[in-house]
A and B are shown apart, each in its own frame.
Chain A
Amino acid sequence: MTKLIARRLAISVPLLFIVPFLTFVMATLAPGDPARTILGDDFTPEAYQALRAELGLDKSLFAQYADWLRGVVQGDLGTSPVTGLSVSGEIISRVGVTASLVLLTTVVATLIGVGLGVVSALRAGWLAKAVDVISLVGFSFPSFWVGLVLVALFAVGLGWFPATGFVPIDVSPRAWALALVLPITALAVHAIAMVAKQTRDAMLDTLGREYILALRARGIPERSIIFRHALRNAAIPVSTVVGLVFISLLDGTVLVESVFAMPGLGGLVVDATHRHEIPVIQGIVLTFTVVVVLVNLFVDVLYGWLNPKARVS
């Protein structure tokens, strides 16, 4: 168990340094540079040199990286060359939106996905087929498109939910919840499909095992066999998939926040990309990488807790 976590840390910690460094490397490889982008077509060589110095672009790659790292340690991710706002400030003000979306979607998708998966594993026939269809459809429709259709139907058409925006929970819990329903639904379709499929496969695999037969032969009631033994064993692969779902939701929010014009990190990174604001993107990359590392650590701990073969040494 400790070995598992140690290995994960050995991989993750360098990752926190390597990924931002790669963005620096790529930034220097790229044609053009931010100074030129900011100044547009019309600039004097002096202004250009001055801006390069201001942005630190005249220094070596490693020096730029070191500067940036020094800033990160002090909680300073730099400022946006376009808006002049502090990157860390921007991220902190927006992280709540993305966190609400991702966490709630994970919870919703896990509950519904596991439920559907278990039921379809136990009842062959139309329900299993239905789960097949749901998971295929869930895999196939892009979340941003599902989001737009939901807007057309439930916001524009029926007017049940707001079409766009986000309300902080401390302003109005009701408005917060209403604003989240459509984005979460758009994100969850795919996530539910992943969880349901994995749950069903894992349950079917477990129910075919020798020890299930042995439990039946010992007269253990069917309810206990399914919910205590089979589900508990199936939880091992399912927990891994839930971790993957969480990480894929980080990607999903980039699109869904754009659809619903939500002031989250996803929207920020899209805007920053359009404006070539490298420090902002770098800040968000770092944030997402930290989250991915933490989620993976959590999944590893959970996996070890669920699976005695990984835990007991």
Chain B
Amino acid sequence: MTYSLTPDTNSARPQRVRFLRSLRRHPLGALALGLLLLLAAGAILADLLAPYDPTATDLGNSLSGPTGSHLLGTDALGRDLLSRLLFGARVSLTGTAQAVATVIAVGVPIGLLAGYLGGWVDRVAGGIIDVLLAVPGIVMLLVIVAIFGNNESVAMIALGVLGAPGMARVVRGSTIAVRNELYIKAARVSGLTTRHVLVNHVLPRVSGPIVVRASLFAGVALLVETGLGFLGFGAQPPDPSWGNMVADASQFVAIAPWMLVPSGATIALSILSFGLLGDAIRDSTAGRARGADRVRRKVAGDAKEPAATPAQPATETPDDSDALLRVRGLTVSVPAATGQADIISDVTLEIRAGETVGLVGESGCGKSMTGRAILGLLPQPVAVTGGRILFDGQDITKLGPRQLQRLRGAQIALISQEPVASLDPVFTVGHQLKEVLLRHQPGSRREIARAAVALLRDVNLREPERVMRSYPHQLSGGMAQRVAIAMALAGRPRLLVADEPTTALDVTVQAEILGLLRRLQRQTGMAVLIISHDWGVIADVCERAYVMYAGQVVEQAPVLDLFDGPRHPYSAGLLGCMPGRAARGDLLPAIGGRVPQPGSWPTGCHFSPRCPIARDDCTRDPVALNETAAGHASRCLYPLLVDEKVFSHDAR
């Protein structure tokens, strides 16, 4: 689902600045950080800030509730709750800090080394982690309290040790992910030492998860610390801690429920702050952690005004065609910062019953989106914003979810690029195939099972019974694609959309799958739309083809005409880029520049900035698809002549 390569402008700044910036984008995270800093300051400055001595009793003023002199009220001995909270923060926050420091000091090195070095180090560390994870936490702490007495530091450091496996596991997982990144390999090849790689490449990349985990663990530590205080461990009366303040309050639930509020709210707000801070950091570092992946999937951020959609150019031919599928002026858009960005613009194509048609182009040209639109399966928030998709006379863009559901599988089917990923991993092939069959034809259990086996045999799978019992992960890519084809055929569709059906497969398997598709197409008489970036695949199976560039169909022709004499400069250029057609030793006649992103298409001809023969009028108005010969059309004001060479051999 590549729709754009929009650069991520935020990443242009150093990490620290980016972190602060991202906190600004997460007001809740910033608020949480502020609150925690405030609490810490309150604890440090308690001597100055507290209005009363936290242990000073005033029996005439007990259980008072909030008053002018005691903002948060008093307890049973008339001690000021605000002062006790401030001094109690010292105990509770110190304990939390001790636990967090321990968790980092113990967990991070173990996780880092286990993840980076792997092998026996990893196995030993993994064993220790698993053992410690299975230790019941609070009960273990009580053992320590019972043995070491009320030494809170020992208990909180022990809590840190008990929490370390969780941290180590997170760090190990992130480290393994980073270790497998190619830039780590490249750094090693460059002759950098292990220490250098760990410190300069791995640690910065796993610091996000570490901080997130530490923040979440701080919440847990505070929960445990106050829990121990509540049970009467840790700070002993009359000294306050947040936990023993709740315990004090619990004695007077019936007569002074207010007393529960100050301590409980402070504890909850602190834990909440740790959690929110962790979430904010996670959100701001997730992008960096997944880095590239996110950019690749990101939808075009901002767009110009939807290029003043032209009063539909003359593409709209009179609709007397009897084709099975007629796409007319299809425009598909994604919401953007300003208005909407078109991903597909004014696409018109048709497929007759039993015909095999190719849709060829580079990534981001909109060919997959065209396929998804035909199935009514555009991903959110992409939507059809113009034109019609007529299947057998019925406009698919106007159908409701139920009607679409009845159409899919039964009339139009899909096979996609990743065959194994297109099968549900938890059910057997047989289970899934029977579910599809049952959806499209009634029958007894035995009839359906027999039909399933017959279908698998039909797609040239040997031992169909064994395949029926297999789970998707047990299949090779080629077998899985055959299974996917069988499932697509289960409803006897009249049109099969094959989106890069062989791109993930080896060439010998590709040849078999293409052969299979050709045979099935001949036997069933269904029409096939092959979406591919590979001219070889198009040449192999298609009768006609559409070439797409930057959201538009730029050329349509029978394949023989297209390969012999492309009439659009882009088609000619793309054909010329194939190493298979070039002489060895030469340079390739490459097209300079790069494909424009949706939302930043040029006015006029989308290809004009890269076109060697573009003239001034090419950039003025949208260009229509003009017929150059029977069945051959080119979206070019100056269509090429046969054998006209336009690309030089030095673009690189």
- A: residues with CB less than 8 A from B are 11-12, 14-15, 18-19, 23, 26-27, 29-32, 136-137, 139-142, 144-145, 148-149, 151-152, 156, 163, 209-211, 213-222, 224, 229, 232-233, 236, 247-248, 250-251, 254-255, 258-259, 269-270, 272-274, 276-278, 281-282, 284-285, 288-289, 291-293, 296, 306-309, 312
A288 touching B139 in the complex, CB below 8 Å, given contacts A142-B227, A145-B246, A218-B490? yes
Cα A61 to Cα B329 in complex, Å, equals: 86
* Contact partner, B143, options A141, A285, A291, A306, Cβ 8 Å: A285
Q: How far is the CB of A106 from chain B (nearest CB, A)?
A: 15
Cα A144 to Cα B253 in complex, Å, equals: 13
The yes or no answer to B40 lying at the interface (CB within 8 A) is no
Residues of B within 8 A of A306 (CB): 426
Q: Check B232 against A274 for contact (C-beta < 8 Å).
A: yes
In the complex, residue of chain B having the shortest beta-carbon distance to the beta carbon of A247: B136
The yes or no answer to B260 lying at the interface (CB within 8 A) is yes
Q: Which of A219, A236, A250, A281 has the most CB of B within 10 A?
A: A219
Residues of A within 8 A of B231 (CB): 254-255, 258, 270, 273
Residues of B within 8 A of A222 (CB): 401, 405
Given A11-B130, A218-B408, A285-B140, 20 additional A-B pairs, CB 8 A: A15-B131, A19-B135, A23-B147, A32-B149, A148-B253, A213-B422, A214-B414, A214-B423, A217-B377, A218-B490, A220-B436, A229-B424, A248-B137, A254-B138, A273-B146, A278-B147, A285-B143, A289-B134, A292-B135, A296-B134
A251 touching B136 in the complex, CB below 8 Å, given contacts A142-B268, A281-B142? yes
Looking at chain A's contact residues, is the secondary structure mostly helix, strand, loop, or mixed?
helix
Q: Check B149 against A144 for contact (C-beta < 8 Å).
A: no
A309 touching B410 in the complex, CB below 8 Å, given contacts A218-B488, A251-B138? no
In the complex, residue of chain A having the shortest beta-carbon distance to the beta carbon of B490: A218
Cα A224 to Cα B438 in complex, Å, equals: 13
- State which residues 392-446 of B face A: CB under 8 Å: 401, 405-410, 413-414, 416, 418, 421-428, 435-436, 439-440
Q: How far is the CB of B412 from chain A (nearest CB, A)?
A: 8
Q: Check A140 against B269 for contact (C-beta < 8 Å).
A: yes
The yes or no answer to B257 lying at the interface (CB within 8 A) is yes
Q: How far is the CB of B380 from chain A (nearest CB, A)?
A: 9
Q: Check A254 against B139 for contact (C-beta < 8 Å).
A: yes
* Contact partner, A211, options B140, B257, B424, Cβ 8 Å: B424
Residues of B within 8 A of A156 (CB): 253-254, 257
Q: Check A145 against B268 for contact (C-beta < 8 Å).
A: yes
The yes or no answer to B634 lying at the interface (CB within 8 A) is no
Cα A215 to Cα B409 in complex, Å, equals: 9
Residues of A within 8 A of B264 (CB): 141-142, 145, 148-149
* Contact partner, A12, options B134, B143, B226, B491, Cβ 8 Å: B134
Give the number of residues in B that approach A within 8 Å (Cβ atoms): 75
30 contacts between A and B (CB under 8 A): A15-B134, A26-B147, A26-B148, A30-B149, A139-B219, A140-B219, A142-B246, A144-B230, A145-B246, A148-B249, A148-B253, A210-B416, A210-B421, A213-B422, A214-B487, A215-B424, A217-B375, A217-B408, A218-B409, A218-B487, A220-B439, A229-B424, A255-B138, A269-B142, A272-B146, A277-B146, A281-B139, A296-B134, A309-B425, A309-B473
Cα A255 to Cα B257 in complex, Å, equals: 19
Q: Which of A31, A247, A255 has the most CB of B within 10 A?
A: A255
In the complex, residue of chain B having the shortest beta-carbon distance to the beta carbon of A224: B435
The yes or no answer to B127 lying at the interface (CB within 8 A) is yes
Q: Check B230 against A255 for contact (C-beta < 8 Å).
A: yes
A209 touching B421 in the complex, CB below 8 Å, given contacts A284-B139, A289-B136? yes
Cα A217 to Cα B485 in complex, Å, equals: 12
Q: How far is the CB of A65 from chain B (nearest CB, A)?
A: 15
Cα A149 to Cα B490 in complex, Å, equals: 59
7 nearest A-B residue pairs (beta carbon): A219-B409, A217-B414, A214-B422, A251-B138, A140-B272, A210-B421, A288-B136
The yes or no answer to B233 lying at the interface (CB within 8 A) is yes
In the complex, residue of chain A having the shortest beta-carbon distance to the beta carbon of B401: A222
In the complex, residue of chain B having the shortest beta-carbon distance to the beta carbon of A151: B253
Q: Which of A139, A140, A224, A276 has the most CB of B within 10 A?
A: A140
Q: Check A142 against B223 for contact (C-beta < 8 Å).
A: yes
Residues of B within 8 A of A26 (CB): 143-144, 147-148
The yes or no answer to B514 lying at the interface (CB within 8 A) is no
Q: Which of A23, A137, A282 has the most CB of B within 10 A?
A: A23
The yes or no answer to B468 lying at the interface (CB within 8 A) is no
